[in-house]
Amino acid sequence: MELATQIFQFILSISILVVLHELGHFLPAKWFKCRVEKFYLFFDPWFSLFKKKIGETEYGIGWLPFGGYVKISGMVDESMDTEQLKQPAQPWEFRSKPAWQRLIIMLGGIIVNLILAWAIFTGLNLSVGEQYHDLAKFQNGIAVSEEGAMMGLQNGDKILKIDGKPAERLENSMINMLLADEVTVERNGKEVTFKPNEDGIAHILGAKTAKLYISNRFAPVVDSIIEGPAKQAGLQIGDKIVGVDGKKINFQDELIQDLSNKKNTPIKLEVLRNSELKTLDLTTTKDGKIGYFQNKNLALKAFEQTETTKEYSFFPAIGRGFERTVESLTMQIKQFKLMFNKKIKGYKNVGGPIAIIKMMPKEIDWVAFWSFTAMFSAWLAFLNLLPIPGLDGGHALFTTWELITGKPVPQKVLENAQMIGVIFLMGLMLLIFGSDIYKLIVK
């Protein structure tokens, strides 16, 4: 049932995005009196799930949920149907239109995706506002995982700036730090700026399951005890650990760090029980453990206390919607750079439809759904803007060249470039699907 819900949300999201993107090509093509032969949601190699011809256009739904297309007469596109191009150009054909009109047609889908992201973010701002964890409320700084420490962060750090811009939100900051050139923190009362270590980033991106590599700090209060040294020494549920061998302990991360240096070692554990200080003698395990779990409810409660909901009136919601669209677009550009980093090897973590489906909420959550759809719309805008033949950006590049030079790119060059682009995109599609299937099997 959970998988079915995730698949439903994925198909609904991608359908909205593809239909509106293709409508961004379809409408200006019609305005400029081009003949549109096909309008398809999803691709239809060999056969389609549904098709119906209305006027001069065949509308249909393909079986391969990897995008969609509009086929415009007189245009070199994914179909590689060049027979029509051997004939003299007709007034209703794409190739007979002025370059500025062709450029608008090609950029229409990208523009619609950006406007859609802006509209969705604005709607979310108005309806539910923005809920996030405020880093200013992490009064005791952050606790970092092993991977976070590899990046250069330390327990107790207060994150101040990322690439020179104030860091306010945990959710954004966790992503931005993976893409940043520098991070500024308050450490032991001083400002420290460092470049995140790529080894730590690679470990975080390569993790089998996504997890927080930074969180807020909380006190080590015993929630449950397992068989081991702590139970044998008399540790009880509700005890608050305040010291180890005379060293004061305030936070769970301090306890873990201290015990990691005392493997298979006798220690004196100081605990506060019903406002009374007690000392327990025990010996740690070979892994530096004592056999208890921290109070998860206490940790969750402390984390919830950092939550903030920011509400917006109409005009501020529009402005913030635009900012969120730009942030999403900028994030995609930065993530794209990680793919070509030799150390981080971001290309290994590329995901396709299967990975996206797994990202969808397991229950219907319309706020999460629309947030994802807005982000994905900005991602599609960026992807289609890449100057790769076969994508909108490739067509726009050749048309821009024509506008600048006053000379059209030779038809043969367009056909060859389109062929190369289609081969490249098919190879990329196979790589992404293959990566999805490999991760599904191995992980």
Helix (H), strand (E) at residue 59: strand 57-72
Please answer whether residues 209 and 145 qualify as being in contact, where contact means their C-beta atoms are separated by less than 8 angstroms: no
- The b-or-e profile of 46-76 (16+ CB within 10 A means b, else e) is eebeeeeeeeebbebbbeebebbbbbbbbbb
Please answer whether residues 344 and 338 qualify as being in contact, where contact means their C-beta atoms are separated by less than 8 angstroms: yes
Res 9: pLDDT: 86
- Rounded CA gap, 355 and 359, in Å? 7
Q: From its phi and psi, is residue 298 left (phi > 0), alpha (psi between -120 and 50) or beta? A: alpha
Instruction: Provide the 8-state DSSP code for 97.
Output: S
Report CA Rg, the chain.
28
- Rounded CA gap, 228 and 243, in Å? 19
Instruction: Provide the 8-state DSSP code for 410.
Output: P
Mark out the alpha helices in 128-197 (DSSP H runs). 146-151, 170-179
Angle (CA) 104-75-40 rounded to 5° is 85
- Rounded CA gap, 335 and 46, in Å? 35
The rounded average pLDDT for each run of 10 residues, N- to C-terminus, in the chain (443 residues) is 80 91 95 93 88 93 85 72 66 89 94 96 95 89 88 92 92 86 93 90 69 81 80 86 90 84 88 90 85 66 82 95 92 72 56 59 83 90 83 84 82 68 58 46 47
Res 424: pLDDT: 59
- Measured in whole angstroms, how far is the alpha carbon of residue 176 from the centre of its chain? 11
Res 22: pLDDT: 94
Q: Which amino acid is at 292?
A: Y
